[in-house]
């Protein structure tokens, strides 16, 4: 089977064209594809499939012709991936299933419908896409802000337990603000941070350092943060799109009503832009690159 390798700010994926829904993605097969020595190597697997063939597609996603079936590197099913959906759009364009000139692409996900459009690059090389990420909420409500957060987070390499704020971006996140880049560098994300209480489906943990505000091209102020992330089912990755949205939303919530609506989020793999709208929804913009096509011997992988 022909597979495509792509990434969004170095959050990398194996993409599979399964329009007719005949490919069975068992966890062992996903793990082998993502294995960086015995497989192709990736943070996750994205299967492009017609939405009509996805039995567990939510009702809100069924308006889309194409569905992004996303699996974490450990084989578990994920609701959404902000970097992945941009790479999915680039893949659909490569396959001739979408032309950005004709308008945005609707993508079905387990978190609902997501809409992708081509936009001008903010920084760096390669095409940029912007995704309507849907609603962003604080599950613990505004009261958690007064308490500094709704979770306690222990991170290897950091001696003190830190408060964390839960953010829902269609998948669960816990955001921790650190004092400076030295703390961020000291954090050891080779093991999962301990989060208490841990959400029922686990959580992604973002460590964030605010970098202040700057003036954007439109003359309006925007925020700037640096982030590292430990993704559930994967480990530390070079980037996480939903995590960037969660980080921006948390820092803005902590900052109060005068905090900017637009944020640049620096991750080890590059920079993305998050726009937090007045209606509670968010938009995520960033690069998406397809870097290779390769023949995968599915028979050599676990069935």
Can you tell me the distance from the alpha carbon of 49 to that of 18, in angstroms, rounded to the nearest whole number? 5
Of the residues 240, 247, 249, 301, only one is catalytic, namely 240
Active site residue 34: no
Active site residue 81: yes
Can you tell me the distance from the alpha carbon of 241 to that of 273, in angstroms, rounded to the nearest whole number? 10
Block residue for tokens 């799109």:
241
- DSSP calls for 137-204: B-TT-THHHHTT-SEEEE-BT--S-EEEEEEESSSEEEEEE-SSHHHHHH-B-SSPPEEESPPTT--E
Block residue for tokens 């793999």:
269
Of the residues 40, 45, 81, 92, only one is catalytic, namely 81
Q: Please choose, from the candidates 14, 134, 5, the residue with its C-alpha nearest in 3D space to the C-alpha of residue 82.
A: 134
Would you name the residues annotated as active-site residues? 81, 240
């Amino acid at each position: 089977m022909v597979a495509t390798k792509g990434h969004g700010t170095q959050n990398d994926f194996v993409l599979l064209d399964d329009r007719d829904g005949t490919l069975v993605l068992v966890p062992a097969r996903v793990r082998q594809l993502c294995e960086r020595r015995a497989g192709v190597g990736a943070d996750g697997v994205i299967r492009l499939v017609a939405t009509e063939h996805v039995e567990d597609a939510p009702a809100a996603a069924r308006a889309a012709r194409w569905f992004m079936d996303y699996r974490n590197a450990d084989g578990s099913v994920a609701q959404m991936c902000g970097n992945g959906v941009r790479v999915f759009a680039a893949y659909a364009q490569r396959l001739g299933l979408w032309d950005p000139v004709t308008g945005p692409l609707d993508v079905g996900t387990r978190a609902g419908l997501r809409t992708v459009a081509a936009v001008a690059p903010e920084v760096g090389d390669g095409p940029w896409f912007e995704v309507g990420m849907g609603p962003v909420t604080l599950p613990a409500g505004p009261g958690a802000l007064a308490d500094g957060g709704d979770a306690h987070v222990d991170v290897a390499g950091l001696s003190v337990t830190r408060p964390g704020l839960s953010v829902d971006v269609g998948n669960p996140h816990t955001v921790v603000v650190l004092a400076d880049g030295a703390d961020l560098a000291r954090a050891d994300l080779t093991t999962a941070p301990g989060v208490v209480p841990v959400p029922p489906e686990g959580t992604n943990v973002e460590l964030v350092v605010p970098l202040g505000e700057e003036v954007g091209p439109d003359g309006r102020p925007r925020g700037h943060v640096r982030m590292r992330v430990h993704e559930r089912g994967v480990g530390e990755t070079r980037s996480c799109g939903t995590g960037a949205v969660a980080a921006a939303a948390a820092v803005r919530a902590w900052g109060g009503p005068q905090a900017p609506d637009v944020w640049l989020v620096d991750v080890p793999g590059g920079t993305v832009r998050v726009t937090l709208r007045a209606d509670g929804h968010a938009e995520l913009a960033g690069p998406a690159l397809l870097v290779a096509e390769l023949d995968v011997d599915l028979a050599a992988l676990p069935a």
